[in-house]
Structure 1
Amino acid sequence: MTDSSNAAVIPFVIEDEDRGGNPVERLLLAEAVRMAEAIVFASTEPVTEKALLARLPDGVDLPHVMAELRTHYEKRGVNLVRSGDAWAFRTAGDLSFLMSRDTVQQRKLSRAALEVLAIIAYHQPVTRAEIEDIRGVETSKGTLDTLLETEWVRMRGRRKTPGRPVTYGTTDKFLDHFQLEEIRDLPGMEELKGAGLLSARMPSNFSVPLPPPDLDALTEDEEPLSDIDLEELGLLTPRIESD
């Protein structure tokens, strides 16, 4: 164990544009930054802004605090990154090769699962029937189950149409895995062409859909999943009525 008395301490320096400002406010901001750093560092999962606000002092300017913390880690071995509404520390991109020996080999997704994942990411909220219409082939329940198990995809709600089909969307874990701050950071058509994922000779009317900015909010043609829905879908243990 390293002797903490000999450990190098790198203080947070909060700089105002004119080096002025209220010294007390700068001190409070620096302390809030330290607290946010401790909370995010200690968590094994990305920490939501709601969770941070619940543990930081009342009235704290969270965007300012996280901007200061992110700047502090910009040129270090780990960076502070935002994924959706959550924050986490991640190895700096240019140093990821150092971790390659410790990387756990994960099961690769099938081509069908990757296609379905891409459709959900770009077209969400989307139903199974709509996925099949876009792909032109039937989508097995096993493919959707695999994506749900990765926790990159979730059941959002039900479409307000006959049969009330389940709608699917992505999660913050999807954003975190693919290093996206928000769903609108998905590559556009020109980026996809540049990466060789789309033919340069696409139909003139072809376009890449833009997902909604707020993935948590249901759309007008969706309704929330009820407890009965969750029981039917196997997401909630059925209630046992007492005599």
Structure 2
Amino acid sequence: MVEAILFAAFEPVTLAEIARRLPSGCDAGTALDDLRARYEGRGVEIRRIGEGWAFRTAPDLSHLMENERVETRKLSRAATETLAIIAYHQPVTRAEIEEIRGVAVSRGTLDQLFELEWVRFGRRRMSPGRPVTFLVTEQFLAHFGLESSRDLPGLAELRAAGLLDPRPVPGLTPLPEGEEEEDDDLPVSPAGEGDDEIFED
């Protein structure tokens, strides 16, 4: 009966709840101990979870339950443009990226590129404020099948592939001073300790 109760339960069951469900005179504690001993060394075991008890996969077999899947993530337009600028102009500072794009770079845009491990910090410039620079990573080169950043397609190749639009691109007009673009595809991560110093140009 204890086995059936635990097997059917959606969440861990307390000893008091087990005892309440058993016929009068049954010793729920002894029954639970006997059942735990019976399941020792098997694929599943009875474990205490907080104040309750439940069936769980044996720890040494947990790897069999892992489910790996490939998650496709689409880069936002802001992230794509920022990545392209870093790749073609590296080492480049945040201020230089903003000057080329014509808008302020949001924290979420850079966070997305760092999370993908496609961008890394470079050396600080020997200029007022010692701004940090950004570079593309080996992971970026591997993902796009490049031996080095020198293998990036040139202007003629990009035009031939239809990746350059000669018409004005909406959204690349300068924002009022102090404002940043909105990046709808990725929420801005909370600023961590020292972020302001890292990203300050």
- Please report the TM-score for the alignment, with normalisation by the length of structure 1: 0.40
Structure with more relative contact order (C-alpha pairs < 8 Å, separation 6 or more): 2
Q: Which structure has the greater CA radius of gyration?
A: 2
- Please report the TM-score for the alignment, with normalisation by the length of structure 2: 0.48
